[in-house]
Structure 1
Amino acid sequence: METYRYFLEIAYKGSNYHGWQIQVNAHTLQEEIEKKLSILLGRPTTIMGSGRTDTGVHASQQFLHFDSDTELDQTTFLKKINGILPTDIAAYSLRKVKPDAHTRFDAIWRSYVYKISLRKNPFEENSVWFLFKQLDVKKMNEAARLLLNHEDFQCFSKVHTDVNNFNCTIKAAFWEQKEDQLLFHITANRFLRGMVRAIVGTLIEVGTGKISLEGFLDILDSKDRKKAKASAPAQGLYLCSIIYPENIFI
């Protein structure tokens, strides 16, 4: 029987989930989406995401792939899947891809944004990090630029993680202030577990003057997670963009 592989673009608010990956005795995004897809397609359906977001982390753009034994119409499919997904998960697009296309391994670039609110806002609860400190954004950007000259980011990785190496290519990392909101943008070919939140937490210490640029450089060179500072809270982090080569789409 012929099967068809599809990339599904989704977004979600991660507040009610114990991260992306299926776990025993925990409510996860992968489990929730697989259940609804299996209902819609009439058979057990597994999915693979472009990456694994942690508990409480959000995504304004995430991709997953799945296989179907029938060809699917995008408009009809999106209407039906959005009708049964919970309100904190939305499906945006469906694209047919080559049979060996893979949302995780074929991704070229991934981007995250971390959102900090500098004043209390009741409409942003669980969506930003409320941080009421005076920050030197210029100095934070100077430190962020140092990330572009490094490859090994072991100092910002969770310690017990199953990876072959800690090398990442970061092509953009900068802070942007919009009125009372401070946004950290970062794009890389891959990210280590907990990496972005550890970077943000450490850059905030640069912004408060507790770490100098030389100190930040020492942390980068140390390859020691204990040298970096506490991770920023999960609720401010968003996976926001994944770029794929066009030749995998049909």
Structure 2
Amino acid sequence: MHNYKITIEYDGGGFNGWQVQPGLRTVQGEIEKAVEEISGRKSNVICAGRTDAGVHAFGQVANFKSRIDWGDERVLKALNRVLPDDIVILECEEVGSDFNARYSALARHYEYRIYNARSSIRRNFYWQYPARINLACLKRLSAMIMGEHDFKSFCVRKSQKESNLCTVTKSHWTKRDKEYTFQIIANRFLHGMVRSLVGTMIKISAGFSEEEVFEELLAKPKRSEKVFTAPPNGLYLMEVAYEIE
């Protein structure tokens, strides 16, 4: 049995998230159909981070096990030939049998994009927010996220885990013209965490709450009505880091 690691780019707008759901179009479902079509057998495709409906990826990583022994390049071309246009396999390589895209990952890198105006072209790939944004405030708030914290305040309640601790190694806002971009890298993420962080920071920067509210949400973690969740279409999974062999 061969274990294939694939790096995937997809436009999440046409999917009900990553995970297979009966009767719904999902990224995992489409890739598993493609693997079955080229190999003649069903395979479970495991990803590094399950994205929600509408969330995009430039560098999602997944793995699947199969009996096909064609070489990396041929497997990549075969998958892309049968996949829909909104999913592309960027890389394919055979890895050791113990590699697991989720549990072998050391860090995930997400990016969130906001356009500070209305735009018909960008509407599916940015959060259109044509209101006041205070960049200096955003930078102060993002600095608070650095390091290890309990992010229970920024996790969807139904999916909260025994441990909500995450270690953030990058948290930074940038601005170019009307585009605001938030970059965050951490060892793990909770469900809805990035969108909740972004939405809450934006609302505070716009004057709806005080900066101390954000500090308290980190210091005394609990889900609160003061947490605002940004829409999914501005979020991208950029890259997943693994130990270099």
Q: TM-score range by the shorter chain?
A: over 0.9
The 5-angstrom pairing of residues 57-136 of structure 1 reads 57-136=55-134
2:200 to 174, 199, 202: 202
The 5-angstrom pairing of residues 178-189 of structure 1 reads 178-189=176-187
Indicate how the Cα distance of structure 1 residues 202 and 82 shifts in structure 2: closer, same or farther if over 3 A, else same. same
Of residues 5-14 and 226-235 in structure 1, the stretch that sits farther from structure 2 once superposed is 226-235
Of residues 219-228 and 172-181 in structure 1, the stretch that sits farther from structure 2 once superposed is 219-228
Q: Is the 8 A contact 1:155 1:227 kept in 2?
A: no
Distance in 2 of aligned mates of 1:110 and 1:227: 27
After superposition, give the CA deviation of every residue in 1:174-201 in whole Å (9 maximum; x if it has no partner): 1111122110111000000000000001
1:215 to 213, 216, 225: 213
Distance in 2 of aligned mates of 1:106 and 1:88: 26
The 5-angstrom pairing of residues 102-181 of structure 1 reads 102-161=100-159, 163-181=161-179
After superposition, give the CA deviation of every residue in 1:183-237 in whole Å (9 maximum; x if it has no partner): 0111000000000000001000221122222221012123111154220001111
After superposition, give the CA deviation of every residue in 1:54-85 in whole Å (9 maximum; x if it has no partner): 11111111011011213232222222211111
One-letter code of the match for 1:99? S
Aligned residue pairs, count: 245
Q: Is the 8 A contact 2:153 2:227 kept in 1?
A: no
User: What is the CA distance between 1:150 and its match in structure 2?
Assistant: 4.3
Identity of aligned residues (%): 31
Find the residue that maps to 1:110 and give its secondary structure: strand
One-letter code of the match for 1:174? H
Find the residue that maps to 2:3 and give its secondary structure: strand
After superposition, give the CA deviation of every residue in 1:18-69 in whole Å (9 maximum; x if it has no partner): 1111112222111111001110112112210111101111111101101121
- TM score, norm. by length of structure 1: 0.94
Q: Which residue of 1 aligns with 2:54?
A: 56
Of residues 224-233 and 87-96 in structure 1, the stretch that sits farther from structure 2 once superposed is 224-233
After superposition, give the CA deviation of every residue in 1:132-180 in whole Å (9 maximum; x if it has no partner): 0121101111011001144100000011115221000001111111122
One-letter code of the match for 2:146? L
Moved over 6 A (4+): none
The alignment's C-alpha RMSD in Å is 1.3
Find the residue that maps to 2:105 and give its secondary structure: coil
Of residues 91-100 and 217-226 in structure 1, the stretch that sits farther from structure 2 once superposed is 217-226
Q: Is the 8 A contact 1:19 1:28 kept in 2?
A: yes
Find the residue that maps to 1:123 and give its secondary structure: coil
1:22 to 20, 23, 30: 20
